């Protein structure tokens, strides 16, 4: 079994921002999906939702505020799953609730490597 990082991205445009009630309604599908992955033994680690504020460290140890709210998309969260290969991990990602969310979300699937 291999490990994969599922990165949940979302549209940052003002038009794509959910109402408080839409945001609240989105919680149950996430709980159901993550519970299913856990019950199947596919969930390795559940990453919490990422807050919008942060910092970016660049070469020369230069620190700037980030991520930047003016970019089109941002990372909203992530999980680590187990799957046999990229195709299987992608199938798991197809059931992610972010794809049905009103903020035009999408999933990036990346295999984790034990190599440096």
Domain for residue 43, yes or no? yes
Half-sphere exposure of 108 (CA within 13 A, CB side): 12
Token couple for 42: 């596919």
State the total domains in the chain.
1
**Residue 103 token pair:** 């903020």
Q: Is residue 57 part of a domain?
A: yes
Domain contains 116: no
Q: Which of 34, 62, 42 lies closest to 2, judged by CA?
A: 42
Each of the 116 residues of the chain gets a pLDDT tens digit; together they read: 999 999 998 776 665 566 778 778 888 999 999 999 999 999 999 877 777 678 888 889 888 876 665 566 677 789 999 999 999 999 999 999 989 877 778 899 999 988 76
Q: Which residue range is the domain that position 72 belongs to?
A: 2-111
Is residue 50 situated within a structural domain? yes
């Amino acid at each position: 079994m291999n490990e994969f990082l599922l990165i949940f991205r979302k549209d940052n445009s003002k038009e794509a921002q959910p109402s408080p009630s839409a945001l609240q309604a989105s919680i149950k599908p996430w709980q159901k999906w993550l519970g299913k992955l856990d019950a199947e033994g596919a969930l390795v680690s559940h990453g919490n939702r990422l807050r919008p504020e942060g910092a970016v460290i660049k070469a020369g140890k230069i620190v700037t505020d980030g991520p930047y709210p003016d970019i089109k998309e941002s990372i909203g969260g992530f999980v680590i799953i187990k799957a046999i290969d990229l195709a299987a991990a992608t199938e798991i990602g197809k059931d992610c609730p972010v794809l049905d969310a009103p903020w035009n979300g999408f999933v990036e699937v990346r295999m984790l490597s034990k190599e440096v």
